[in-house]
Structure formats: structure tokens, C-alpha cells
């Protein structure tokens, strides 16, 4: 290492992953450290110190840190939103109660469906007089006297986290801004989010919930980011400089190492930008993994992949086409819908810590309950008393009796005891029970992969699977058989792909404006003015981040639909002044995309007019990516063989074991085999072959 190092850190439930890249040579070093759930910032700093020790460097070498965090995600998944308040228009206090008619699993189960709990009880909702029309005209003026009463009511009851959502504020937000000014004056201790800054988009229910979620996570994110920034400030003094292509100190303030946080949209943002809009971090960790996997796959020649990030608690999957992970604005976090742009990730409770259990009918189930990091699987020997997926792998000898190269020993006897107990209840042999646990887990993962492909009109059989995370590659061969996949790509250091992804992504700031208009009534000048306003906001954000004019990139998109449809399809809007001709080409792209998604389009039906709904601009500040890593040519896999052991693949089979780090480009390993490394293990089933490519990735395909 040269002494100038950029670091990526991804916090997980069990381990915190750390990757450092040399700013000059591109050399990459990866490691892990146990997570500290009670205070994630402790593991954060422990990880930085560990990777610096491995490099023989001190804090002065760190030029920037990018971070993927689960603070907001975990808070929402656990339903910890605190005592929120909602301020809305007079007469609309039941906005959250009415919600949206969205019945899970179709109307066949609607009789048994109960609406989720409101994020804010009706007794903590207050209304203020005043009303804007859909076109931005004022119907009734803002009632400041009533606003003062509302602010004092919240202050008197100690409710200091408040969301403000007024009708049609996406067109004109003067009433929301006036309400915020009243709150700042009358209730200065309140944390306030207004919908026009969180989500300038129509559909009041989703906009209100998104705003409330932003308010709910804001205090926790602010505390966490402030704690990290304070710890980073001790690494080196404020006189240190940065290098081109890395965040400048202007982007994060004067007190310490420049600090970026991963956003759900596939980009990073400075600490200051993130604390002002913390909802953008709700899928921070999964987004980093998807981006890292996409970069690795594209460098290896795979532009169309599905990614699978296997952790201790869950498995996250997404689809990547033409090197770009799919984005959505129809996501949700736990029980709360969120319309912010986010990578389209499906999560299932199928991680290494997922618990195997019996249903009341005597059926074997796996997850979504998890042993987590504490107490963890039974084999950890830290108090876990129920068998998990990891325990099944240990009993079948598909993973070694330790993790992290021996740093974390595993107790095979404890794992065996848990599996034997469950097997007795099922009247199965222990091996059959363990294999059944893995089979159920594999099908859970397969169903998630089908969701991210089939629902987008894609055939999963056309894709290669990219597996990463500590447990991501353990069921890779079985998934090939279940789904008919092209094969599997396992990156180098698969347990650290999310942390690596943090070093490959650009700064991204998203802005949206609802502007509903039919194509026949399209006013290019008006739409261009909207786009200019969004671009100006994106430009100002990138300027605050410290990017010079010539580095700033702006991408325009629009959400279109057929008139009468309830949901939209997003298409690109090429650069240049918006004209009638450009609008027609965007409509053509919409027809094409609609056919790709749904199997038909109405291009030739004059009754089915195209309607523009939302205009979007993304401001991008490019950050230099590490160059693709290459490995020396191999001299034959036999040189990496470390021994053999009996492993269960439908039966006990004598299986060769290899040290993956000693394999070189071109080396091939035929199954049955087990490839072990510091952060993960890859069982190669009988009938499969693993080949090492030039970047050191494993390409696993059926050989028979």
C-alpha cells in the first residue's frame, strides 16, 4: 500500500466487513470483525483499525470512508418508530386510516386480512386549515393561528418527532414550509420532516408514510452518524488532504475523515446529506452488495445476473440487467411503504442463522425466525438452543469446524445434538434431517429469485447467479438445479462484496416532481422548466458534496402510463431540450418497456393515450472505482489441495478440500469438492465443475 487508502465498511448482524483500496495501485485488502449490535460504531472503528494493522498503516493514510449501515433498516423492521406526530390538512385526519386498498396475496385471502397498524395513532394527528389545489393554486390560505396551537399541543405532550404532509404540496409547498417555521418557533426541540422535501410526488398516503418514516429514523441516524464522525475525527487531523476522485472535506465538514453513507438508490451520500434525509439509507447494506456484485460480474463478462447475498439472518436477492441493478419506488421496509428510489431487493429469512422448526402440522420449516448473532447457531456455543441452517452445514461437513480461518471455532457436537433432536421428532436420520433443512432453505431462496425475475417479465433461466456473503454460496449448486440457471459466479472474498461495493459506487441524489399530463396536451416548455428546476437542485447538492462543474452528471427519467392505469413504468428521457419530437421518442420507449414487462403494448390503439406522471432527475458525482483485480495463472488445482474429509451429498462421500486463495487463473476443480477461504465456503456438488477466471472469481457450472 502507498499510504493513501480508501475504506469501505458494511455492518452486518454477525460480522462487520471491511475492504481497503490503495488509491494509487488499486490493491485491495479485505477483512472482517465481529459486529457489536449494542453500539455498531465500536465494530466500525475496530474494523478500520484491523485493516490498517494488516496494511501496516496509521489513520493518516485514510483518505475517505464509505459505509453501509443497517441502523434505519433494523429500526423499521422491529417497528421501533417512537411517538410520532402527523400534521395534515383540516378534514384529512383519517388519511392513514383509509390507507390504500392493497390486499396481500390477492382477494382470495382478503377475508382474513387485517390492515397493518397505523404508524401514527389518530389521537396524535393534528390538522391545520389551508388548502392547495392540484395545479398549485391556493384554495384557502394557511391558518397560522391554528398552526401555532398545533405546535404547542405537541410540545406540551412531549411529542418531538413530527411529519408534515399537506395535500398537493408536491406542486407548491409554501404551506408546509410555513408549518415548519411555526414548529421551529413554537417547538424548537422537535425533529421535523416535510413531505415536499422527502418525496415531491403525488399519492398522499404513500407520501405521508414515507415522510413519517423519514422523521422516525432521523434521530437515530443523526446520533449514529455523529458518533461515527466523532470517532473518525481521531484518525487524523483536519489538515490532511484528499486526492482526485475521492470525497473532499467540503463534502462532510471540517472535523475528520470524509465520510460517505450508502443510500438505497445505489449511490452514496455525504454524512450531512444523509442526516438531512435519512430515509434514503433504509436499504443501505443490501444496496451496497448488489452494486458490488454487479461491478464484479460486469468485469467478468456477465451483464445479466441475479445476485444473492446470504447473511446470518436473511438472504437478499436482486436482478442486474446490462450491469445495472433494477430500481423501484414501490418498495416497503417492514410494514411501511416507501416510495423513495431504491434497488429492487427481495429479502427472505433464509440466512445461516435461520432456525429449523416444526409447524403444528408436523411440517419442517426454516426461518424466518433467526438465531442472529446473539445467541447464534448452536455450533457457536454461545447459548443457541435451536438448530439452524449453519448447524445443518456443520453436521454434513460442508463447512469446516471453524469460521474466519479459525478465528471463530464451531462446536460440531452441539450442532449434532440439535439436529438429532429435530430428526427424532421427524422420524428421520440426522443426515436426512440436515439435508432437508438445506433443501427447504434452498427453495426459499429460489422463490425469492423468481420474484425478482418473473415479476419483471424475465426468465430466470437466462441468468447467471452471483453469490456472496458468508452463507451465500453454500447452496449455489442446488439453486442451479432448481432454477435451471446458466451457472454461478462466486467473487473473490465473497464475504466482503458489500464492503467492496461501497468503494465502487458514485454519489447519487434523486429528485422527483409530479406533473400529470397527457401526451396530447404535452407542453414541452412547461416540462422543461420542471426538469430545469430538478436539475438545479441536483446541481446544488453535488456542489455541496464538493464536485466541480465538469464532473457532475445528470440523468433524466420519467414515469409514464396509459391513461386510466394506476401504476407507471419508468423510462429514460434523453438529454437536450424537451420538444414534441423528444416527447414522442420517450412515449415509444414506454411502449417498448410496457411490452417487455407485461407482454403487450397499446402503441397502435388511439384510444389508449400515454400519460406522463412523474419527472425525475438524478445527480451523479463520479468516484473512482478500484480497477478489476487479476490473479496469476494457476499451476493446477492439486497445489491448492489441503486434504480430504467425508461430506454428505445425498450420501457420505470422500471429498477433496482446497484452499481457494492458492488457486490461480485457469485452475479447475471437479465436484465433489469443498473450496474454503477466510470469509466463505463453496461446496462443489458432484456433477459440477468450478473454474477460476482471470479476476479470481469462481465460475461454477454443471459438468454432466
Model pLDDT for residues 230-264, shown as the tens digit of each residue: 888 877 654 344 443 444 433 443 346 788 899 88
Bridge-based pairing of strands 331-333 and 336-338 is: antiparallel
Quick check: 569 and 594 in contact, CB under 8 A?
yes
pLDDT tens readout for residues 465-476? 999 988 899 999
Q: How many residues does the chain have?
A: 704
441-465: pLDDT as tens digits: 999 999 999 988 987 778 999 999 9
Report the pLDDT value the prediction gives residue 151, as an integer from 0 to 100. 96
- Cα–Cα separations (whole angstroms), residue 539 to 260, 315, 327, 534, 594: 18, 36, 22, 9, 31
Q: Domains plus CATH for the chain?
A: 5-75+220-260 (3.30.420.40), 78-218 (3.40.50), 507-621 (3.30.1490)
Q: Is the predicted pLDDT of residue 699 greater than 90, yes or no? A: yes
- Helix (H) or strand (E) run with residue 466 in it: strand 464-468
Q: How confident is the model at residue 115 (pLDDT cuts 50, 70, 90)?
A: low
Average pLDDT of the segment spanning 609-638: 89
Supply 468's cell numbers.
456472496
List, for residues 262-301, the tens digit of each pLDDT value: 988 888 888 888 888 888 888 887 888 898 899 999 999 9
pLDDT in tens, 127-174: 999 999 988 899 999 999 999 999 999 999 999 999 999 999 999 999
Q: Is the pLDDT of residue 23 over 60?
A: yes
What cell numbers appear for 313 in the block? 439472518
| DSSP code of residue 178 | H
Tally of CB atoms within 10 A around 607? 8
SS3 of residue 147 by DSSP? helix
Smallest CA-to-CA distance from 72 within 296, 253, 334, 248 is with 334
Residues 6+ positions from 604 with CB-CB distance below 8 Å: none
Nearest C-alpha neighbor of 42 from the set 224, 268, 315? 224
All cell numbers assigned to 281? 439509507
**Beta strand spans in 479-578 (E):** 487-490, 507-518, 553-562, 569-572
Q: Which residues pair with 559 in a beta bridge?
A: 570, 614
Query: What are the helix and strand counts (H, E) for the chain?
Result: 16, 37
Q: What is the pLDDT of residue 580?
A: 92
Can you give the pLDDT at residue 592? 93
Question: What helix, strand, coil percent values describe the chain, rounded to 5?
Answer: 35, 25, 35
Q: What's the whole-number average pLDDT of the chain? A: 87
On the CB side of 701, CA atoms within 13 Å amount to 11
Please determine, for residue 89, whether its predicted confidence score (pLDDT) is greater than 50: yes
Q: Say how many Å lie between the first and final Cα of the chain, rounded.
A: 44
540-590 confidence digits (pLDDT tens) = 999 988 889 999 999 999 999 999 888 899 999 999 999 999 999 999 999
Cβ(6)–Cβ(63) under 8 Å? yes
Measured CA to CA, the distance from residue 590 to residue 286 in angstroms comes to 29
| Contact status, residue 85 vs residue 161, Cβ threshold 8 Å | yes
Residue 339: left (phi > 0), alpha (psi -120 to 50), or beta? alpha
Residue keyed to cell 418531538: 160
Average pLDDT over residues 326-335: 77
- At residue 101 the predicted structure's pLDDT band, cuts being 50, 70 and 90, is low
pTM: 0.82
Beta pairing class for 408-409 and 681-684: unpaired
Cα-Cα-Cα-Cα torsion 577, 583, 586, 588, nearest 10 degrees, comes to: -150
Amino acid at each position: 500500500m502507498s499510504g493513501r487508502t480508501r475504506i469501505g465498511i458494511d455492518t452486518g448482524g454477525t460480522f462487520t466487513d471491511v475492504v481497503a483500496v490503495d488509491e494509487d495501485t488499486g490493491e485491495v485488502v479485505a477483512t472482517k470483525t465481529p459486529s457489536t449490535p449494542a453500539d455498531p460504531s465500536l465494530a466500525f472503528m475496530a474494523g478500520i483499525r484491523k485493516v490498517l494493522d494488516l496494511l501496516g498503516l496509521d489513520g493518516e493514510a485514510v483518505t475517505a470512508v464509505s459505509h453501509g449501515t443497517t441502523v434505519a433498516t433494523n429500526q423499521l423492521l422491529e417497528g421501533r418508530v417512537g411517538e410520532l406526530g402527523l400534521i395534515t390538512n383540516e378534514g384529512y385526519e383519517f388519511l392513514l386510516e383509509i390507507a390504500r386498498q392493497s390486499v396481500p396475496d390477492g382477494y382470495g385471502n382478503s377475508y382474513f386480512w387485517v390492515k397493518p397498524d397505523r404508524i401514527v395513532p389518530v389521537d396524535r394527528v393534528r390538522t391545520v386549515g389551508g388548502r392547495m389545489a392540484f395545479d398549485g393554486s391556493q384554495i384557502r390560505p394557511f391558518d397560522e393561528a391554528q398552526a401555532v396551537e398545533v405546535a404547542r399541543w405537541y410540545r406540551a405532550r412531549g411529542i418531538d418527532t413530527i411529519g408534515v404532509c399537506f395535500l398537493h404540496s408536491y406542486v407548491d409547498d409554501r404551506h408546509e414550509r410555513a408549518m415548519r417555521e411555526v414548529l421551529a418557533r413554537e417547538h424548537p426541540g422537535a425533529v421535523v420532516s416535510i413531505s415536499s422535501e422527502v418525496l415531491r410526488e403525488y399519492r398522499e398516503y404513500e407520501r405521508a408514510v414515507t415522510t413519517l418514516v423519514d422523521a422516525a429514523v432521523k434521530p437515530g441516524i443523526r446520533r449514529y452518524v455523529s458518533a461515527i464522525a466523532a470517532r473518525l475525527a481521531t484518525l487524523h487531523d483536519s489538515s490532511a488532504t484528499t486526492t482526485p476522485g475521492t470525497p473532499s472535506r467540503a463534502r462532510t465538514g471540517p472535523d475528520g475523515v470524509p465520510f460517505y453513507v450508502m443510500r438505497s438508490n445505489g449511490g452514496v451520500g455525504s454524512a450531512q446529506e444523509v442526516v438531512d434525509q435519512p430515509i434514503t439509507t433504509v436499504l443501505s447494506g443490501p444496496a451496497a452488495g448488489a452494486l458490488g456484485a454487479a461491478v464484479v460480474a460486469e468485469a467478468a463478462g456477465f451483464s445479466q445476473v441475479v445476485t444473492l447475498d446470504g447473511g446470518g439472518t436473511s438472504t437478499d436477492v436482486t436482478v442486474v440487467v446490462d450491469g445495472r441493478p433494477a430500481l423501484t419506488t414501490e418498495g416497503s421496509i417492514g410494514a411501511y411503504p416507501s416510495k423513495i428510489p431504491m434497488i429492487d431487493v427481495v429479502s427472505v429469512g433464509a440466512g445461516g442463522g435461520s432456525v429449523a422448526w416444526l409447524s403444528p402440522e408436523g411440517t419442517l420449516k426454516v426461518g424466518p425466525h433467526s438465531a442472529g448473532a446473539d445467541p447464534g447457531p448452536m455450533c457457536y456455543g454461545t447459548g443457541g438452543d435451536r438448530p439452524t441452517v449453519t448447524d445443518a452445514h456443520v453436521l454434513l461437513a460442508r463447512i469446516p469446524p471453524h469460521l474466519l480461518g479459525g478465528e471463530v471455532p464451531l462446536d460440531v457436537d452441539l450442532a449434532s445434538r440439535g439436529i438429532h433432536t429435530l430428526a427424532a421428532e421427524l422420524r428421520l436420520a440426522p443426515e436426512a434431517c440436515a439435508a432437508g433443512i438445506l433443501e427447504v432453505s434452498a427453495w426459499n431462496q429460489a422463490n425469492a429469485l423468481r420474484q425478482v425475475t418473473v415479476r419483471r417479465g424475465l426468465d430466470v433461466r437466462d441468468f447467471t447467479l452471483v453469490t456472496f456473503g458468508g452463507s451465500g454460496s453454500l447452496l449455489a449448486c442446488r439453486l442451479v438445479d432448481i432454477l435451471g440457471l446458466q451457472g454461478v459466479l462466486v467473487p473473490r472474498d465473497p464475504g466482503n462484496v458489500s464492503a467492496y461495493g461501497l468503494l465502487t459506487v458514485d454519489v447519487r441524489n434523486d429528485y422527483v416532481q409530479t406533473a400529470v399530463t397527457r401526451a396530447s396536451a404535452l407542453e414541452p416548455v412547461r416540462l422543461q422548466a420542471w426538469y430545469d428546476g430538478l436539475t438545479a437542485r441536483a446541481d446544488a447538492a453535488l456542489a455541496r458534496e464538493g464536485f466541480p462543474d465538469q464532473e457532475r452528471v445528470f440523468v433524466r427519467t420519467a414515469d409514464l402510463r396509459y391513461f386510466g392505469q394506476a401504476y407507471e413504468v419508468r423510462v429514460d428521457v434523453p438529454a437536450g431540450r424537451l420538444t414534441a419530437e423528444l416527447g414522442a421518442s420517450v412515449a415509444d420507449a414506454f411502449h417498448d418497456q410496457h411490452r417487455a414487462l407485461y407482454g403487450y403494448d397499446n402503441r397502435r390503439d388511439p384510444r389508449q393515450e400515454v400519460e406522463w406522471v412523474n419527472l425525475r432527475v438524478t445527480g451523479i458525482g463520479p468516484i473512482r472505482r478500484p480497477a478489476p483485480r487479476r490473479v496469476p495463472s494457476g499451476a493446477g488445482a492439486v497445489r491448492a489441495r489441503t486434504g480430504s474429509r467425508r461430506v454428505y451429498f445425498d450420501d457420505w462421500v470422500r471429498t477433496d478440500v482446497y484452499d481457494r486463495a492458492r488457486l490461480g487463473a485457469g485452475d479447475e476443480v471437479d465436484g465433489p469438492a469443498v473450496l474454503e477461504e477466510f470469509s466463505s465456503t463453496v461446496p462443489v456438488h458432484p456433477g459440477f465443475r468450478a473454474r477460476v477466471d482471470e479476476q479470481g472469481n469462481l465460475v461454477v457450472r454443471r459438468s454432466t
